[in-house]
């Protein structure tokens, strides 16, 4: 007698997803598929299945479950031989009996909550440990991945108002002067961002106390407040180094702040960045890292000093499609960021999408772009602005083209 591939279904979505895997297995080995529904109650309380067959929840019968399971098997392999049976017995007993004449038994996983990918339900556990044939338990993450892969890829939108030739010239000039590469200074960073139309907070560079005072007078907002940020090559987190003075008003406070930074970072500081004090908003992180196999990756997550503490980032391959950007912004743990903080209203999501698309375009255009950190990116209901940017360029070395791109 030829062996069968057996799948147990109970009407739940995990068990019905297992039918597709079972149909693939049966077709691969050229054996019949047997679908078994073992039950202890006459009717099944399943909202998802009820919607699929157009019945109220609680009115789903054993026959309904087998009809839906057979339909799903036929979607995968229309010509595969299928037999079905409903048995009014304990499911684990039925499946163990079926295993005596099966080449493999496949069951859906029934773990719950945060441990859904780690736990087996009582039936699948009993069958997996006592069956006379191999047992496959289909994990929930396999179905989620299949659904993710089946989604439309999306399209890469056109980005207007960019100056690619100026960006290439800037990168070539920097690497001509520094053949080993390095971090761009604030002025070069700002120029590169402007090539791609990425919105930046107004700023000025000052190397002397008097320059800082004049810049503060020119940039101060309606409330007269400005910010001074020390700069030197390699500085990562200015706040953690106490290299920032906020909420400065008037010439005296600006001078005092400049002198403090100069005295504490003597021998390091090459100048200060002067900016108007930014409004309240949500601080985000957007950046690029260059991977040796996949090429440029766009990274997105919470910003400010929390970006490394939370380690809560999403990553997508450049160039970003519209779907990629949507996934980055709506990644589960970042959903609250979309609605602002402290009752400030929804953020400018369209502005955030534009920044990510333009950052992606920069990463694709410039193979010399080894690393880019926009932190923080300030998002408010009225717009999205990069408050601080760091960019590192390295000479572009030839790579094996066979290693590039998953899509």
Task: Give pLDDT tens digits along the chain (407 positions).
Answer: 457 899 888 887 778 888 888 898 889 888 999 999 987 655 554 566 777 777 776 677 888 889 999 999 998 899 999 999 998 888 888 889 999 989 888 887 654 433 344 344 567 778 888 888 888 877 665 556 666 666 777 899 999 999 999 999 999 999 999 999 999 999 999 999 999 999 999 999 999 999 999 999 999 877 889 999 999 988 877 887 899 999 999 999 999 999 999 999 999 999 999 999 998 888 899 999 998 888 899 999 888 766 665 567 889 999 999 999 988 888 746 545 555 555 566 788 899 999 999 999 999 999 999 999 999 999 998 999 999 999 999 998 655 555 555 54
First to last CA, the chain: 46
Q: DSSP per residue over 23-59, as a string?
A: HHHHHHHT--EEEEEE-SSSEE--HHHHHHHT--TT-
Q: Are 32 and 81 in contact (CB under 8 A)?
A: yes
Do the domains 280-403 and 202-277 match in fold? no
How far CA 185 is from CA of 138, 190, 211, 322, 353, in Å, comes to 52, 9, 18, 32, 26
- Topology of domain 202-277, per CATH? Dna Ligase; domain 1 (3.30.1490)
Q: What is the DSSP code (8-state) at residue 333?
A: G
Cα separation, 139 vs 120, whole angstroms? 9
Name the CATH architecture for the domain at 280-403: 2-Layer Sandwich (3.30)
At 111 the pLDDT is 42
Q: Within 10 Å of residue 407's Cβ, how many Cβ atoms?
A: 5
Name the architecture of domain 4-150.
3-Layer(aba) Sandwich (3.40)
Q: Considering only CA atoms, which of 39, 21, 38 is closest in space to residue 104?
A: 21
Strand (E) or helix (H) holding 303 = none
CA distance to 10, 144, 147, 172, 323, per residue, from 151 (Å): 27, 11, 7, 39, 9
Phi and psi at 99, nearest 5°, equal: -65, -20
Report angle CA 139, 314, 318 to the nearest 5 degrees: 110
| pLDDT at residue 144, rounded to an integer | 63
CB 22 within 8 A of CB 49: no
The pLDDT, as a whole number, for residue 139 is 67
Domain residue ranges of the chain, discontinuous segments joined by +: 4-150, 202-277, 280-403
| pLDDT of the residue at 343 | 55
Pairing between β-strand 244-249 and β-strand 182-183 as defined by DSSP bridges: unpaired
């Amino acid at each position: 007698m030829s062996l069968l591939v057996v799948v147990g279904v109970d009407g739940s979505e995990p068990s019905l997803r297992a039918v597709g895997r079972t149909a693939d297995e049966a077709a691969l080995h050229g054996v019949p598929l047997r679908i078994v529904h073992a039950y202890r109650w006459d009717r099944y309380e399943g909202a998802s299945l009820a919607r699929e067959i157009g019945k109220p929840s609680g009115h789903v019968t054993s026959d309904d479950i087998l009809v839906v399971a057979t339909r799903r098997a036929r979607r995968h392999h229309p010509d595969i031989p299928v037999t079905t049976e409903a048995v009014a017995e304990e499911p684990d007993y039925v499946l163990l009996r079926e295993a005596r004449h099966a080449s493999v038994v496949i069951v859906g996983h029934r773990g719950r909550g945060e441990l859904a990918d780690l736990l087996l339900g009582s039936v699948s556990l009993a069958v997996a440990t006592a069956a006379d044939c191999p047992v496959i338990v289909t994990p929930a993450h396999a179905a989620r991945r299949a659904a993710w892969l089946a989604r439309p890829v999306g399209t890469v939108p056109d980005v207007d108002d960019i100056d690619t030739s100026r960006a290439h010239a800037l990168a070539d000039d920097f690497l001509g002067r520094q053949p080993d590469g390095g971090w761009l200074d604030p002025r070069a960073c700002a120029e590169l961002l402007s090539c791609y139309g990425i919105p930046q907070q107004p700023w000025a560079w000052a190397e002397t106390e008097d320059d800082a005072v004049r810049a503060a007078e020119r940039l101060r907002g309606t409330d007269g407040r400005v910010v001074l940020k020390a700069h030197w090559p390699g500085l990562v987190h200015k706040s953690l180094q106490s290299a920032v003075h906020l909420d400065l008003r008037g010439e005296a406070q600006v001078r005092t702040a400049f002198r403090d930074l100069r005295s504490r970072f003597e021998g390091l500081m090459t100048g200060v960045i002067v900016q108007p004090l930014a409004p309240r908003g949500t601080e985000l992180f957007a950046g690029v890292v260059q991977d040796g196999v996949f090429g440029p990756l766009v990274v997105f997550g919470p910003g400010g000093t929390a970006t490394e503490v939370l380690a809560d980032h999403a990553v997508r391959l450049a160039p970003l499609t519209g779907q990629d950007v949507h996934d980055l912004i709506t990644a589960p743990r970042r959903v609250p960021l979309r609605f602002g903080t402290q009752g400030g209203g929804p953020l400018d999501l369209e502005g955030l999408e534009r920044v990510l698309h333009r950052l992606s375009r920069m990463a694709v255009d410039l193979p010399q772009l080894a690393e880019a950190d926009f932190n923080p990116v300030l998002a408010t209901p009225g717009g999205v602005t990069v408050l601080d940017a760091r960019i590192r360029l390295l000479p572009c070395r030839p790579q094996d083209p066979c290693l590039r791109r998953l899509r």
